[in-house]
Amino acid sequence: MDHSAEAQRTDLMTITRFVLNEQSKHPDSRGDFSILLSHIVLGCKFVCSAVSKAGLAKLIGLAGDTNVQGEEQKKLDVLSNDVFVKALVSSGRTSILVSEEDEQATFVDPSKRGKYCVVFDPLDGSSNIDCGVSIGTIFGIYMLKGDHEPTIEDVLQPGKNMLAAGYCMYGSSCTLVISTGNGVNGFTLDPSLGEFILTHPDIKIPKKGKIYSVNEGNAKNWDAPTAKYVEKCKFPQDGSSPKSLRYIGSMVADVHRTLLYGGIFLYPGDKKSPNGKLRVLYEVFPMSFLLEQAGGQAFTGKIRALDLVPSKLHERSPIFLGSFDDVEDIKALYAAEAKG
């Protein structure tokens, strides 16, 4: 047995160690935020395990309506939602939870209340489960404003007020990407240790990318700036090479690739869906927060995405996010149309 190699394995930057290191930079910290993050991490591990067994569960009869004990078997997205709601409530650090799965916000019982509000999509891209495409959990964390009875207004804040945001992608490996407002770091789950290990420290998105990512099936309904931009990607007039198209249709996977390789991800509004399809609180904001922290940009077609003030929980918005220069190009096209 190679003891030096084994010893090396224990000198890893785990997510727990990383969060505690960050906490030590704030001498007045009581560790509440670290506890909240550890509960989110636990939820991600649980869902990762459930997702990897999803295909088998069907095969061995676990995904029917009821199992042998007479318990109803839940669909994976509903199960994921239950897991995160329970993990967040039991942390004792949250006041309000907003989930893509629940129409109303969940207000935590006063005995278990804390000072944070968490917005999340427990399983984004869940329609892709059956074909093995990467799916994920997206989350954002706000601090409760002032010392008062929590209200829905506490979560209807612009994205720039978020304390932290992240996503966990369940794909060929289980990857957790997170920012607490101080850069972006990526962790990969080591199944043999059951720990997330820092594998992508201080992620920076390339200033310009070679990939564009959009559902071209909606092209006939696009507005002029989006149509012009995509045309420019395919038929550049400046002698540069055309961009490659990559579109998975699972936001976590598409944004993850954009973050690592650069380029632009677009989900514009169109004639059919003037506000696009993506929800502001738990899809647009967390991803925009991460992209800005990594040196990219996020734009709604009108304003910086993180400046948007949502008026309702499940509000939608168009979004263009990615490499700084690529988003500048689309901003220029919208500015030209506005002058028009």
User: Can you give the three-state secondary structure of 140-195, one letter per residue?
Assistant: EEEECCCCCCCCHHHCCCCHHHCCEEEEEEECCCEEEEEECCCCCEEEEEECCCCE
The C-alpha R_g of the chain, in whole angstroms, comes to: 21
Query: How large a percentage of the chain has pLDDT more than 70?
Result: 91
* Band (91; pLDDT cuts 50, 70, 90): very high
What's the pLDDT tens digit per position in 134-182?
Answer: 999 999 999 998 788 999 999 999 999 999 999 999 998 999 999 999 9
* Band (2; pLDDT cuts 50, 70, 90): low
Residue scoring higher pLDDT (225 or 55): 225
* Residue 56 confidence (pLDDT): 72
- CA atoms within 13 Å, Cβ hemisphere of 5: 2
Residue 192 predicted with pLDDT over 60: yes
Tokens, residue 278: 């993506």
Closest CA to 152 of 267, 310, 283: 310
In degrees and rounded to multiples of 5, residue 66 shows phi and psi of -135, 150
Closest CA to 230 of 49, 218, 286, 297: 218
From residue 6, give the alpha-carbon distance in Å to each of 1, 11, 50: 8, 9, 29
Residue 95 predicted with pLDDT over 60: yes
* Band (67; pLDDT cuts 50, 70, 90): very low
What's the pLDDT tens digit per position in 269-309?
Answer: 999 999 999 999 999 999 999 999 999 999 999 999 999 99
From residue 248, give the alpha-carbon distance in Å to each of 10, 132, 281: 36, 12, 22
Residue 60 predicted with pLDDT over 70: no
What's the pLDDT tens digit per position in 222-234?
Answer: 999 999 999 999 9
Mean pLDDT of 188-195: 94
2-6, 11-15, 219-223, 292-296, range with the lowest pLDDT: 2-6
Order of strands across the sheet that contains 106-107: 106-107, 94-99, 113-124, 135-143, 164-170, 174-179, 185-190, 195-200
* Residue 65 confidence (pLDDT): 52
In degrees and rounded to multiples of 5, residue 189 shows phi and psi of -75, 125
* Residue 75 confidence (pLDDT): 83
3 state SS of 139:
strand
What's the pLDDT tens digit per position in 106-140?
Answer: 999 999 999 999 999 999 988 888 788 899 999 99
* Residue 58 confidence (pLDDT): 65
3 state SS of 88:
helix
Distance CA 31, CA 34 (A): 5
Mean pLDDT of 301-323: 97
Residue 64 predicted with pLDDT over 80: no
Closest CA to 212 of 328, 326, 101, 88: 326
Distance CA 138, CA 5 (A): 35
Closest CA to 308 of 324, 292, 284: 284
From residue 94, give the alpha-carbon distance in Å to each of 1, 154, 336: 46, 12, 44
Mean pLDDT of 208-221: 97
Q: What is the mean pLDDT of the chain?
A: 91
Please check whether residue 108 is in contact with residue 154, taking contact to mean a CB–CB distance below 8 angstroms. Answer: no
- Give burial (CB, 10 Å; 0-12/13-18/19+) of 197: middle
* Band (7; pLDDT cuts 50, 70, 90): low
Amino acid at 320: F
